[in-house]
Copies of this chain bind each other. A is one copy, B any other.
Amino acid sequence: MTEPSYSEFRQMIEGTFESVPFVREVGLQLHQVDFEKQTLSAIFARKPQLIGNHYHNILHGGVIATALDQVGGFTAMVAAYQRMGGAMDWEEKIQRLMRLGTVDMRVDYLKPGRGEHFLCSGSILRVGNKLVVTRMELHNDTEELIATGTATFLY
């Protein structure tokens, strides 16, 4: 019973993440996936369409929520994939992961979304056989913590 390498799964994650239409719209790009720590991060650059407040030239809260939801969801996939273990075959696992959806999310907007580049990272609070709870953070290029979030996913 050989523990499979994650190369196939990593390819799937990489192929899927940026193929999500709204993720492309925002310009969110997968940055890192760590299967051992079950963490994942993505980056994006400020562009005029992402602004929520002219006067202050800051990101719209919806952009931040989009990044947190997307990163949380894919971090949850990483943990759920490992949780399903060897009991299921590849096909079946992927099918379950494709159905993974956000149940609820809290976002805390800590500082105005100022900056040129943003890094959004996700980690696992709990992984069960149906639910995954993740924590997410968004930092700007001066390492300010712009927002945090917690989300529950069902798979």
Where the two chains meet, the residues of A that have a C-beta atom closer than 8 Å to any C-beta of B are 19-26, 48-55, 59-63, 65-67, 69-70, 73, 98, 101-112, 125-126, 130-131, 133, 135, 145, 148, 150, 152, 154
Contacts and interface: CB of A to CB of B under 8 A. Distances in A.
A145 B125 contact: yes
Q: Is chain A's binding surface mostly helix, strand, loop or mixed?
A: mixed
Contacts of A130: 130, 154
A102 B133 contact: no
Contact of A107 (B25, B48, B65): B65
B60 A23 contact: yes
Given A104-B108, A104-B150, 6 more contacts: A20-B60, A21-B50, A25-B50, A53-B98, A62-B63, A65-B66
Nearest to A66: B62
